[in-house]
């Protein structure tokens, strides 16, 4: 007898935990005031695996899975704990200690930190109310040498792009530098390009601060399109949560104003989906005709 399980497999809930978006990590920290951190000794080499199964191993394990999204964040072999009070922190640490003991996993004590009011995490420094760029990264940007090749530009933009959520109009400022990385463009660092480089350095080294979300109310996004760039800012109760922007593709530069402004709204909702999905949000745009987009009888294919 042969059974086709395709339909059954479609409704089975997969028992796995995907690595979240970095913004999702940060959103979990709202309201926490204690941030202990535990570093495991020898990383994954502590996990017991049969010799015959070594080839099947990956980087996802069941250890701590029940505590994820509750008070634990796992990044490779680092265990980050976030607690709303010192009493809760003590309870969470006991749970983590027991789990480590039961799983026979050992930490490197000199790399562990406890009773912290803020913690360095994925290139950021988090506290109970805000997130800012790690000072070590700021120092690296501050002392970045003059750009003399496309490789230098790619290296600088690679670091800067990781923190673009802190910089208003990032894509607009970086556009001239981005063009110099294209193969068909002859490298020449003009005065305008040098100015863009210095502007990005200035904005990244003034210790930009990012506010953590407070619940699921009060969301407002402001969208706008300007020449070859579209962008937006997400705010909550008058505080900036994050910026997002992107340069227009070649075909998008030919869009009429109405379509370009609508494309900006679509970009905003897609880019900030992990913030906005399932919550009420007000979208603000300076193109009034967009309010009739849902009542138009005919829309073009775009």
The mean pLDDT of the chain is 81
Res. 262: pLDDT tops 70: yes
To the nearest 5 percent, what fractions of the chain are helix, strand and coil?
40, 20, 40
Res. 208: pLDDT tops 70: no
Among candidate residues 135, 34, 16, 21, the one with its CA nearest the CA of residue 80: 34
Band of residue 106 on the pLDDT scale cut at 50, 70, 90: confident
Tell me whether strands 219-226 and 124-126 are parallel, antiparallel or unpaired: unpaired
Decide: pTM greater than 0.85: no
Classify residue 273 as exposed, middle or buried by CB count within 10 Å of its CB (0-12, 13-18, 19+).
exposed
Band of residue 301 on the pLDDT scale cut at 50, 70, 90: low
Res. 51: pLDDT tops 80: no
């Amino acid at each position: 007898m042969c059974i086709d399980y395709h339909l059954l497999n479609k409704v089975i809930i997969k028992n796995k935990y995907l690595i979240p978006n970095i913004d999702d990590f940060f959103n979990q920290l709202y309201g926490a005031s204690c941030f202990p951190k535990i570093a495991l000794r020898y990383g994954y080499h502590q996990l017991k695996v049969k010799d015959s199964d070594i080839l099947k191993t990956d980087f996802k394990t069941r250890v701590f899975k029940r505590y994820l999204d509750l008070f634990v964040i796992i990044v490779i072999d680092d265990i980050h704990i976030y607690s709303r009070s010192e009493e809760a922190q003590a309870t969470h640490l006991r749970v983590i200690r027991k789990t480590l003991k039961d799983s026979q996993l050992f930490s490197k004590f000199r790399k562990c930190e406890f009773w912290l009011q803020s913690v360095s995490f994925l290139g950021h420094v988090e506290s109970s109310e805000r997130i800012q760029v790690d000072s070590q990264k700021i120092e690296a940007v501050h002392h970045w040498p003059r750009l003399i090749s496309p490789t230098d530009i790619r290296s600088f933009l690679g670091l800067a792009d990781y923190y673009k959520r802190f910089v208003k109009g990032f894509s607009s400022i970086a556009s001239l530098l981005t063009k110099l990385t294209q193969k068909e463009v002859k490298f020449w660092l003009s005065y305008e390009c040098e100015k863009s480089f210095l502007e990005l350095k200035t904005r990244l080294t003034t210790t930009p601060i990012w506010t953590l979300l407070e619940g699921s109310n009060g969301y407002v996004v402001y969208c706008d399109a300007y020449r070859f760039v579209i962008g937006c800012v997400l705010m909550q109760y008058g505080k900036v949560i994050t910026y997002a922007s992107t340069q227009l593709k070649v075909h998008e530069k030919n869009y009429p104003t109405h379509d370009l402004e609508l494309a900006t709204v679509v970009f905003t909702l897609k880019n900030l989906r992990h913030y906005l999905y399932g919550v009420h949000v007000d979208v603000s745009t300076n193109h009034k005709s967009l309010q009739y987009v849902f009542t138009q009888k005919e829309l073009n294919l775009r």
